Structure 1
Amino acid sequence: MLDPQQCRSARLARDARFDGRFFIAVSTTGIFCRPVCPATLPQERHVRYFESAVAASSAGYRPCLRCRPDSAPDSPAWIGSGTTLARAIGLIDGGALQNGDITQLCERLGIGERYLRQLFQRRFGVSPKAYSLYRQCLFAKKLLHETTLPVIDVAHASGFSSLRRFNDAFKRQMSLTPTDIRRRRSRKNAALTLKLAYRPPYQWERLRHFFAVHVIDGLEWVGEQSIGRTIRYGATAGHFEARHDAERHQFEVTLVLNELGELNAIVRQIRRMLDLDADTQTIEAHLGQCVPELPLAEGLRLPGSWNVFESGIRAVLGQQISIAAANRLIQQLVDQLGERAGNNRRHFPAASVIAASDLSFLKLPGSRRETVRRLAVAYASGEVGDDPQQWLTLKGIGPWTANVAAFRGNADPDIWLDGDVGVRRALATLSTSIDPALASPWRSYLTLQLWNRIL
């Protein structure tokens, strides 16, 4: 948590770089806001500062309808790498407590229920279940503000099993009813267009360049200010397009989906793909101290892929060949096995589909072809999961492939791609050697900074 003087300076300046890093509660109104709220600034003696929106809500404050704290960058999702709390937050935000219970969540985390409750009580002042419910209501509030979806569809998309339970929970958490929100929102919004905010700086041109270099026709598309792709999440299929709005520090994301039950998880996947929750100022300050000999570019973001399996297959096909050659192989895979999605578009083929194919259409060594099938079979059967370190037991998959899959597919912030050709070329341009271990837990961003020197 920032100290009160830092918070005071940031709120008086309405500094967007602190958006999502803290929240401002006003005792005279009972409302909490973002640092960038355009409302008249309150006197300091009436202000309290909170590290998270859920902490402000649990203290009895309701969210401002003008600056909408629910639309601030997700500060709870960016608290470091490799911690139990970070994993728990990620699983809960992905619906772990909507589709299961605390016991199942703790089994996945490998910890006891008491310890998990202690972690959340210390961090947010609430239980894991209360945190989950608050996040569901925040997402519902976003849909009520920004879409014309019927309230019953908003409830379903937010993970509530009944409209009555949704209305009760929303009123308790937000101190407002869904109808109150709908009275205040504009009628001009498209049905499924959402605004996803980030904390500047954001180096869009470099991220766009990466996606453009790796684009696969029919699966993905890249414009001057936008990227899009077909997506599948469980039984939900469709596509999205994210348009960058630098002035407002956000992306306007349009989604076309066949159903809404996984909408919350899909939005979180998009946030991960675009690395919207990174606090690049903190990351770059750390890198600047650890590797002072490396000039740093501001606002570089991790270029995510849709999921870790896709990232892994693309990494295997890209072993020891150029980006252009790898793209040709991935294009063949999508063209041959990808399910049609309309408008000459296709989905990335599922693991079970790749596993069932002999892949004879891929013009590459037989050993590499078998590695692709081996990964697909193991993933489809559940022998391996979304942790690429498990894949190292499979023949043909080494540390570089597993690390690339974690780097893009899981947005792991602490991956050092020391075997990457681009990283080696960039290191050769430096006058002195660097110790990448010092950059932990942000070694993925050190990789980006090195790529930025040569690409």
Structure 2
Amino acid sequence: MLDPQQCRSARLARDARFDGRFFIAVETTGIFCRPICPATLPQERHVRYFESAVAASRAGFRPCLRCRPDSAPDSPAWQGPQTTLSRAIRLIDAGALQQSNVAALCDRLGIGERYLRQLFQRRFGVSPKAYALYRQCLFAKKLLHETALPVIDVAHASGFSSLRRFNDAFKRQMALTPSDIRRQKRRNAALTVKLAYRPPYQWERLRHFYALHLIEGLEWVDERSLGRTLRQGETTGYFDAVHDPERHQFVVTLVLSELGDLSAIVRQIRRMLDLDADTAAIEVHLRRHLPELPLAEGLRLPGSWGVFEAGIRAVLGQQVSIAAANRLIQNLVDHLGETDAGGRRRFPTAGAIAASDLAFLKLPASRRETVRRLATAWDRGELGEDPRQWLSLKGIGPWTANVVAMRGNGDPDIWLDGDVGLRRALARLETPVDIATASPWRSYLTMQLWNQIL
């Protein structure tokens, strides 16, 4: 948490770089806001600062309808080394407690329920269930503001099993009713959401990376936007994300077969675009420990849609050039990917890859078997989303597992030891670089070095 003086300076300047890092509650109105709220600035003696929207809500404040805390970039709680709490937050945000219960979540984390509750109580002052419920309501509020979905569809998309339960929970958590929100918005026929980030944001380099690895039919990129087809649970569809640099956001239009997985899909898009990184803080750390390294401001981690796709792409990219890897992945998508009504292709399912002999791929037989072995294990549910568990599979080494962790999970602290491109970039530097000092941001060091050669 920033100290009160830092928070005061940031709110008085309405500095977008601090958006989502803290929230401002005003005791005279009972409302909490983002640092960039356009409302008249309250006097400091009436202000309280909170690290999260959950904590502000728990203290009895309701969200501002002008700056909309639900639209703020997520807090940087996930940043730094992997921890049990950050993994629990990621799973809950992906819907783990909507699909199951706390006991099942603890089994996935390998900890006891009491310990998990202690972690959430210390961090947020609430239980895991209360945290999950608030996140559901915050996402519902975003949909009520930004889409024309009927309220019953908003409830379903937010993970509620009934409209009555949704209305009760929403009023209890937000101190507002869904009707109160709808009276504040213009109707819009498209399913469009706005996803904010903290500047600086190096869109040109992210766009270049995606264009360099583009698979036709699966993905599309132009000067202002990128999009792709998707599959999440039982939901299929596609999205287009248009960059709006003036408002520090992406305007994302989604076309989906159903809405039950919408929250998880939005979280995936945020991860693909790396919208929750505090790049200013990351670069301060890198400059402090690696002053000899030239840095580009606002570089982000480009993500794959999920760990399975990242894994297949990484295996096909072993020991070949980017162009050669693209050709192999394109062949895989063309042969085994499903085609939607618009002629777009989806990435093949694990079952489709496992069932194919992959003879159309011009690869050594051992590499084809690695692809099939990975797909078979994933299809049978034998692999988790932690790529370090994949090392037991023949053909999956540390480099491949690390690529998957960085691009499939958004792990901020990955160093791709042995990567040819990184060796080339390091060789250009006049003085040696101590890689260890870049932790916990070695993934961003990787992107900085790749940026010099790609």
Give the shorter-chain TM-score range.
Answer: over 0.9
> Secondary structure, in 3 states, of the residue corresponding to 2:361?
coil
Tell me the residue number matched to 1:259. Answer: 258
Tell me the residue number matched to 1:18. Answer: 18
CA deviation vs aligned residue, 1:71-128 (integer Å, no higher than 9, x gap): 0001055343311110010011011111111111111111111111111111111111
Matches within 5 A, 1:267-416: 267-416=266-415
Q: Verify: 1:235 aligned to 2:234, yes or no.
A: yes
Residue type at the aligned position of 2:102: I
Tell me the residue number matched to 1:177. Answer: 177
Tell me the residue number matched to 2:134. Answer: 134
Tell me the residue number matched to 1:57. Answer: 57
Alpha-carbon separation, structure 2, partners of 1:104 and 1:394: 26
Alpha-carbon separation, structure 2, partners of 1:404 and 1:110: 24
Residue type at the aligned position of 1:387: D
> Secondary structure, in 3 states, of the residue corresponding to 2:29?
coil
CA deviation vs aligned residue, 1:358-390 (integer Å, no higher than 9, x gap): 000111111111111111111111222222112
Question: Which region of structure 1 is more displaced relative to structure 2, 381-390 or 201-210?
Answer: 381-390
> Secondary structure, in 3 states, of the residue corresponding to 1:340?
coil
Q: Does the aligned pair in 2 maintain the 1:15–1:36 contact within 8 Å? A: yes
Q: Does the aligned pair in 1 maintain the 2:25–2:56 contact within 8 Å? A: yes
CA deviation vs aligned residue, 1:323-365 (integer Å, no higher than 9, x gap): 1111111101000000111222111001110000000011111
Alpha-carbon separation, structure 2, partners of 1:56 and 1:426: 45
Residue type at the aligned position of 1:34: R
Q: Does the aligned pair in 2 maintain the 1:151–1:178 contact within 8 Å? A: yes
> Secondary structure, in 3 states, of the residue corresponding to 1:373?
helix
Alpha-carbon separation, structure 2, partners of 1:307 and 1:241: 17
CA deviation vs aligned residue, 1:166-204 (integer Å, no higher than 9, x gap): 0000000000000000011112x3431000001111100
Q: Does the aligned pair in 2 maintain the 1:52–1:76 contact within 8 Å? A: no
Identity, % of aligned pairs? 81
CA deviation vs aligned residue, 1:383-442 (integer Å, no higher than 9, x gap): 222221122111112111111111111111111012211111100011111121111111
Alpha-carbon separation, structure 2, partners of 1:223 and 1:190: 24
> Secondary structure, in 3 states, of the residue corresponding to 2:183?
helix
The CA deviation at 1:277 is: 0.6
Q: Verify: 1:109 aligned to 2:109, yes or no.
A: yes
Residue type at the aligned position of 2:338: E
Question: Which region of structure 1 is more displaced relative to structure 2, 208-217 or 398-407?
Answer: 398-407
> Secondary structure, in 3 states, of the residue corresponding to 2:255?
strand
> Secondary structure, in 3 states, of the residue corresponding to 1:244?
strand
Residue type at the aligned position of 1:208: R
Alpha-carbon separation, structure 2, partners of 1:438 and 1:382: 37
Residue type at the aligned position of 1:127: S
Alpha-carbon separation, structure 2, partners of 1:374 and 1:250: 40
Alpha-carbon separation, structure 2, partners of 1:395 and 1:90: 29
> Secondary structure, in 3 states, of the residue corresponding to 2:368?
helix
Tell me the residue number matched to 2:40. Answer: 40
Alpha-carbon separation, structure 2, partners of 1:362 and 1:160: 44
CA separation of 1:140 and 1:311: change in aligned 2, threshold 3 A: same
TM-score by length of 2: 0.99
Alpha-carbon separation, structure 1, partners of 2:365 and 2:423: 28
Tell me the residue number matched to 2:430. Answer: 431
Question: Which region of structure 1 is more displaced relative to structure 2, 402-411 or 137-146?
Answer: 402-411
Q: Does the aligned pair in 1 maintain the 2:399–2:416 contact within 8 Å? A: yes
Alpha-carbon separation, structure 2, partners of 1:95 and 1:391: 24
> Secondary structure, in 3 states, of the residue corresponding to 1:284?
helix
After superposition, the CA RMSD in angstroms is 1.0
The CA deviation at 1:282 is: 1.5
Q: Does the aligned pair in 2 maintain the 1:25–1:56 contact within 8 Å? A: yes
Matched pairs, number: 454
Q: Does the aligned pair in 1 maintain the 2:145–2:182 contact within 8 Å? A: yes
TM-score by length of 1: 0.98
Alpha-carbon separation, structure 2, partners of 1:82 and 1:223: 34
Q: Verify: 1:211 aligned to 2:210, yes or no.
A: yes
Alpha-carbon separation, structure 1, partners of 2:78 and 2:395: 33
Alpha-carbon separation, structure 1, partners of 2:383 and 2:373: 11
Q: Does the aligned pair in 1 maintain the 2:240–2:252 contact within 8 Å? A: yes
Where structure 1 has 5 or more consecutive residues not aligned to the other structure, the ranges are none
Q: Does the aligned pair in 2 maintain the 1:78–1:278 contact within 8 Å? A: no
Tell me the residue number matched to 1:68. Answer: 68
